[in-house]
Amino acid sequence: MGDSDLKLRTKEYALGIIRLFSELPKRTEVQILGRQLFCSGTSVRAQYREATRGKSTADFISKIEGSLQELEESEYWLELLAESGFYPEERLLALKKETGELKGIFVSRVREVRSGYLVDVCKATRFLFAQLCGE
C-alpha cells in the first residue's frame, strides 16, 4: 500500500470515528467512552501525518508506533461500546475491521523500516570498524 493510499485510508478512518461519535446516544457514560474513542481514533491520522514528515528513521518508527498505540486504544473503546450494550455491535463492525487492518499495515511498515534501518546501521558499523582497524 502506497503512502498516499494510507494517508487517505487513515483520514477516512478518522472521519468514520467522527461520524460514529455524532450518532452515539447522549447518555453521560456513552459520551465519555465516545470522547475517548474520538481522541484516539482521530489521532491515528495525525500521528501518521507526523511520521511521513519524520526527520529520521527512528522518528518515523516512533510516530508509526504512536499510530499503533492509538489504534489499540480505539479498538478497546469500540469493544467497550459494543460489550456494554451502549451501541449495537453490528454498527461497529466496519470500524472494528478497519482498526484491525490498519494495525496490520502499521506493524508491517514498522518491520519493513526496522529491517532496512538495522541493515544500514550494520553496514555503517562495519564500515567504521574497517576504517578504524585499517582493513
The domain segmentation of the chain, as residue ranges, is 3-109
Regarding the domain delimited by 3-109, which CATH topology (the fold level of the hierarchy) does it fall under?
A: de novo design (two linked rop proteins) (1.20.1440)
**Using an 8 Å Cβ cutoff, are 67 and 52 in contact?**
no
- What are the φ and ψ backbone dihedral angles of 134, each rounded to 5 degrees? 75, 25
**Using an 8 Å Cβ cutoff, are 72 and 65 in contact?**
no
Above pLDDT 70, what percent of the chain?
A: 84
pLDDT of residue 12: 97
Average pLDDT over residues 54-80: 93
pTM exceeds 0.85 for this model:
no
